[in-house]
Chains A and B, each alone.
Chain A
Amino acid sequence: MSDHEHDHDHPHGAPPSPYHRSERTGDRNKELTERVNKLESLLIAKGLVAKDALDKLIEIYEHDLGPMNGAKVVARAWVDPDYKRRLLEDATGAIAELGFGGLQGEHMVVVENTPKTHNVVVCTLCSCYPWPVLGLPPAWYKDAAYRSRIVIDPRGVLREFGTALDDDIEVRVWDSSAEVRYLVLPERPAGTDHVSEAELAARVDRDAMIGVTRVSPP
C-alpha cells in the first residue's frame, strides 16, 4: 500500500509533519556532524562518556534489538495458550522467558486485539517505546502528527495506515505516559492453522505490534 494515498481524508493546506518539513539538508547535516563530533570529543575527554560504551550502544540498537524480537513473542502467544495467558498476566516475565527485556522494557504490558477490540500505542509527551521487543521507533511514531492525533482521531490515523475498523469495534489508545511500555498482540490471521511458529513470526511486523495495522492473512 502506498504512503500518501489517504491525504484526501484531511484538510488541505495542513502542514506536513515536522520530520518531513525539516528533512536534513546537506548543509544542516554537515553542521550537526561537526557539532556532534566536537561534543563527543569533549564528553570523552571529560570522562563523561567511554568510547567503547558509546560504540557498544550503537551496535546493540542498530543490530541486536528490533521488531523480530516482538514477533517471536507474538508467534509464541498464538501457538501456545499457556504462554499467551502468562503474557497477558505478566508480560515482563513472559517476554523474559524468550530472552528479551531490559532498558525501556522493565515494565511491560501486552494488550490483545480481538474481533471487538483494537489497541494502538503512542507516547503523546515524548516517544516512549518498548525497545527490547521493537528496537528504536520509526520517525513517524516520534512526529507531532502521530503523537497529537492518534488519541483524538485513532480511526482517522489508522485509515492512513490502511486499517479500516468497523464502528462497533472499540478502539483503545494506550498513551505511555509513565515507564510502563505497551506491546499489541495482534489477531492471528485466518488460514494460518498449519503455519509454523517461525513462519508466523516472520509475518508479524512492527506496525502491527504498535497497533496501526493488522497482520494480513497469507
Chain B
Amino acid sequence: MNGIHDLGGMTCFGPVRREEGEPIFHADWERRVFGMNLAALAFLGPVDRARHAIERMDPVEYLTTTYYEHWLAALVTMAKDLGYVTEQEIETGRLVGIKPTPFRAPNAEAIEGLVRHGMPATRDDARADPAFAVGDRVRARNIEVAGHTRLPRYVRGKVGVVAARHGSHVFPDTAAHDRGENAQPLYTVRFDARELWGDNVERRDCVYIDLWEDYLAPATSRPRT
C-alpha cells in the first residue's frame, strides 16, 4: 500500500526537534506498550505484520500521535485481527472469552533468550543463485503492492548500483500476510541524489537502501550521475 508511513523524500515537516535529556520512556504506559508488543510477539508476529498494522493507521492519526501510540495501535489491531481480543473487551477491560494460544506465553527467561539471540531474517533454504552481483546496475521496479512492502515510493523506477549482498532474507511482502517467508537475496543498492530527487540536483549525496530481489530488475539505461 502507498501509506503515510512512507515518508522518505518529503520536505514539509519542518526542522528536526530534539529533546535535551530525553528519557527512554516518557510515561509508564509507554514502557508497558513496548514490553507487551515484544512479550506477545510469539503469538502476534511476524514483525512484518506488526509494521503493516502501523501502516494501516489513519494517516492524520499517524502523524499526530507518538511512536508508542503507534505501537499501541498495532498491538490492538493484531490482537483483534487474530481473534485474541474484541473491541468490546478493549473498551470495557472486561474479559469475555479466551481463544487458546498454541503454547504458553514466553516467560522472563525465554524472553531474555529472545533478546540475546534475536530472530535472524536469513534463511538457508532460499533461492540459490542471486540474480545480481556487486557493481551491477539495477532498477527498483515500479510495482503496485496492495499490502505490506518495504519498497519505498522514492526509489521506485530509479536506477542504482548494487553495493552489497546479504544472503537470503525473509520477504516482508508475503510474510506480513501469511503467504510464506519466500526468502530471497537481499541487496544494498546505492542511488545518487540526482537520480532520486531531480535533474537539477548537483550535491554529492547518495542513499544506500536494502532491497529484495523481487523489487529489482536489470537496468537498461544508465543512472543519471
Chain B binder among A51-59, A68-76, A78-86, A185-193: A51-59
Which chain B residues border A47 with CB–CB below 8 Å? 98, 100-101, 104-105
Verify A48–B40 contact, CB threshold 8 A: yes
Q: Kindly state the separation between the CA atoms of A103 and B37 in the bound complex, as whole angstroms.
A: 13
Q: Mark A135-179, 1 if CB is under 8 A from B, else 0.
A: 110111011111111011111010011000001111111111111
Verify A127–B67 contact, CB threshold 8 A: yes
Contact of A40 with B by CB under 8 A = yes
Q: Of A4, A52, A151, which one neighbours B154 at CB under 8 angstroms?
A: A151
Contact of B5 with A by CB under 8 A = yes
Verify A149–B79 contact, CB threshold 8 A: no
Q: Kindly state the separation between the CA atoms of A102 and B112 in the bound complex, as whole angstroms.
A: 10
Which chain A residues border B20 with CB–CB below 8 Å? 3
Verify B15–A125 contact, CB threshold 8 A: no
> Closest residue to A66 on the B side, CB-wise?
B24
Verify A53–B108 contact, CB threshold 8 A: yes
Given contacts A107-B120, A151-B154, contact A53 B105 (CB under 8 A): yes
Q: Of B11, B54, B110, B166, which one neighbours A149 at CB under 8 angstroms?
A: B11
Given contacts A32-B69, A125-B150, A127-B67, contact A145 B118 (CB under 8 A): no
Q: Kindly state the separation between the CA atoms of A140 and B65 in the bound complex, as whole angstroms.
A: 13
Contact of A62 with B by CB under 8 A = yes
Q: Kindly state the separation between the CA atoms of A166 and B16 in the bound complex, as whole angstroms.
A: 21
Which chain A residues border B66 with CB–CB below 8 Å? 18-19, 22, 24, 139
Contact of B222 with A by CB under 8 A = no
The range of chain A's interface size is 35 or more
Verify A178–B169 contact, CB threshold 8 A: yes
Contact of B76 with A by CB under 8 A = yes
Contact of A98 with B by CB under 8 A = no
Contact of A33 with B by CB under 8 A = yes
Given contacts A17-B14, A151-B9, A171-B206, contact A57 B39 (CB under 8 A): yes
Contact of B137 with A by CB under 8 A = no
Q: Kindly state the separation between the CA atoms of A74 and B33 in the bound complex, as whole angstroms.
A: 32
Which chain B residues border A40 with CB–CB below 8 Å? 32, 36
Contact of A50 with B by CB under 8 A = yes
Verify A55–B35 contact, CB threshold 8 A: yes
Q: Kindly state the separation between the CA atoms of A103 and B118 in the bound complex, as whole angstroms.
A: 4
Verify B15–A9 contact, CB threshold 8 A: yes
Given contacts A48-B105, A151-B154, contact A178 B210 (CB under 8 A): yes
Q: Mark A4-27, 1 if CB is under 8 A from B, else 0.
A: 101101100011111111101000
Given contacts A145-B15, A173-B206, contact A57 B150 (CB under 8 A): no
Q: Of A14, A39, A127, which one neighbours B90 at CB under 8 angstroms?
A: A39
**Closest approach, in angstroms, between the C-beta of A179 and any C-beta of chain B?**
4
Contact of B128 with A by CB under 8 A = no
Contact of B188 with A by CB under 8 A = yes
Contact of A202 with B by CB under 8 A = no
**Closest approach, in angstroms, between the C-beta of A30 and any C-beta of chain B?**
10
Contact of A114 with B by CB under 8 A = no
**Closest approach, in angstroms, between the C-beta of B115 and any C-beta of chain A?**
5
Which chain A residues border B76 with CB–CB below 8 Å? 39
24 contacts between A and B (CB under 8 A): A4-B17, A6-B15, A17-B15, A17-B17, A46-B84, A48-B40, A48-B43, A50-B39, A53-B107, A61-B24, A61-B34, A104-B118, A124-B6, A124-B7, A125-B8, A126-B5, A135-B24, A139-B19, A144-B63, A145-B17, A149-B10, A152-B9, A155-B203, A177-B150
